[in-house]
Amino acid sequence: MVRSVYYLTRAAVAVAAGALLWLGGLTWWVATLAAILAMVFFVWAPRSGRYLTRAGGGAAPLRTDERSRHVRDVAARNALVVGALGYAVVMIVAAVRDDETVSVGVLSLLGFVVVLACVASDWWQRRTR
């Protein structure tokens, strides 16, 4: 019963997210794909080992333990350091080149590198501990 409540609520969230994306202007098939990917994540999450499943949790049975919180915090810290150093490099290069602006493409690339650093750090810590 607990798992069925979890999956029903998560299916409703996935459908609502897909509907909002469709109403926001995406094509129906992209919104449907996003809803399917959200549901795949919701099915994967309890089985991933990242969360503890609490039997009396009802619609929200997933909890994290101390180790998961520590890994998440260290990964976030590492991503923050990478972002700060990357931003500093971008600003130094812009100052040396005497540019008054930085392109959105460069900042988007920096954002991608920060997300990649967070994911890689999280994965590495979970693999080695």
- pLDDT score, position 44: 87
Domain limits, the chain: 2-63, 66-128
Q: What is the pLDDT along the chain (129 residues), one digit of tens a residue?
A: 556 788 888 899 999 999 999 999 989 999 999 999 999 998 888 887 777 777 776 667 777 788 888 989 999 999 999 999 999 999 999 999 998 888 999 999 999 999 999 999 988 988 865
Report pLDDT for 11. Answer: 93
Say if residues 71 and 126 touch (Cβ distance below 8 Å): yes
